[in-house]
Amino acid sequence: MNYKIAVLDGDGIGPEICAGAIKVLEKTAKKFGFGLSFSHYPIGGCAIDKTGVPLPQSTVEGCLASDSVLLGAVGGYKWDSLPADIRPEKGLLGIRKALGLYSNIRPAKLWDSLVGASPLKSEVVNGGIEIIIVRELIGGIYFGERGKSEENGNEFAWDTEKYSVPEIERITRVACELASKRSKKIISVDKANVLETSRLWRKTVHAYAQKHYPNITVEDMLVDNAAMQIVKNPAQFDVVVTSNLFGDILSDEAAQVTGSIGMLASSSLGDGTRGLYEPIHGSAPDIAGKDIANPIATILAAAMMLRDSFSQIEAHAAIENAVQRVLGQGYRTADIMQEGCKRVSGSEMAALIAKAV
Ligand code: NAD
């Protein structure tokens, strides 16, 4: 088996963290007997500098010709004053659209050795935290009709949330697929006591899961309660499926309870197996080029790619175990440094994880 990976290094710390992830991927592929080839394409600020646009057509074609895509991060001070339509972030929206990626999956995991980094009390997090939020990414209120008007001398503004049954069904499928490899339970978050879209959401999620994934249990939770439960009893969550707006907010809340932005990965998936895998953090221009950025989020994103795009379940577990072991041995990059631990650079951290694989 040989998988072709398109690498979009991007800007700032992007190239450093992608290099770390590639090192770990190469070691893992060797151990588990599959092949990987990497082709690099520009996106974001570096693409603007090279071609005048944040997402050149050659990058889109390279990604479409690949089996999956690894992304570092885009953006930086240099491009901050450009007009909105040629900003680096436009490249991200463009590539998601070009690849038909309608779901965003963000696991928020609290690693045993980093329990102290969580802002929650130890008795709350002792049950462990691993919340996987599956967020609908290209529908709902962010994409609905909006406008402004003036009525009787008053200024009004409005946004609309609209979801179709097929849109809800396809995100439910992604959540059920993930849950079937895990706890076999999903929590669907909505606001069905108030919103019509939420009532359709709830009905559709249940009907689809019951028909296509009868072994998956679906539980409903209102979004206001979900926001409370994430800080009160995070251990009760595994796979959560929700709309674009609710997912945007809850995934940041869940990320925060794990305490460290340099540790969290995410993926965007569509109908096929090709996905876009990336850290949740940005290009961190303040620390770029110093070899102090934590590569673990990108390494974990690469591990998700092995599991979710290539079905290399054991290889994924080997990388997660390697991260666990290296953290357990007390190695830390600057952002997660704790008293009594050994500080290492970003490239040293990647090398330690590759060795532990
Ligand atoms: P950021 O995530 O880049 O940085 C926030 C803080 O976290 C900074 O202090 C940074 O040094 C630190 N940090 C981030 N990743 C780290 C890592 N791996 N190791 C250690 N420390 C890390 O967010 P920001 O500063 O708001 O944005 C910087 C640029 O990134 C902006 O241009 C923004 O538009 C862009 N951005 C891109 C993405 C993306 O590509 N997906 C996401 C968010 C922000």
Question: Domain containing 249 — which CATH number?
Answer: 3.40.718.10
Could you report the per-residue pLDDT of 170-199, keeping only the tens digit for each? 999 999 999 998 999 999 999 999 999 999
284 lines ligand 1 (CB under 6 A): yes
* Whole-structure pTM value: 0.90
Known catalytic residue at 142: yes
Distance 284 CA to ligand 1 centre (A): 4
**pLDDT reported for residue 326:** 97
Domain membership of residue 126 as a residue range: 119-257
Q: Are residues 164 and 231 in the same domain?
A: yes
Q: Are residues 236 and 275 in the same domain?
A: no
Q: Are residues 20 and 82 in the same domain?
A: yes
Q: Are residues 125 and 253 in the same domain?
A: yes
158 is written with which tokens?
Answer: 């409005």
Give the other-Cβ count within 10 Å of 138's Cβ.
Answer: 19
351 lines ligand 1 (CB under 6 A): no
Does residue 315 lie within any of the structural domains? yes
**CA gap 220, 206 in Å, rounded:** 9
Tell me, what amino acid is at 269?
L
Residues 6+ apart with CB under 8 A from 214: none
Count of domains in the chain? 2
**CA gap 281, 73 in Å, rounded:** 7
Is residue 311 over pLDDT 80? yes
Is residue 259 over pLDDT 80? no
What DSSP string describes 165-217? HHHHHHHHHHHHHHHHTTTSEEEEEE-TTT-HHHHHHHHHHHHHHHHH-TTSE
54 lines ligand 1 (CB under 6 A): no
Among residues 49, 80, 159, 252, the one annotated as catalytic is 252
Known catalytic residue at 213: no
Which protein residue has the closest C-alpha to ligand 1 atom 7?
284
- Report CA Rg, the chain: 20
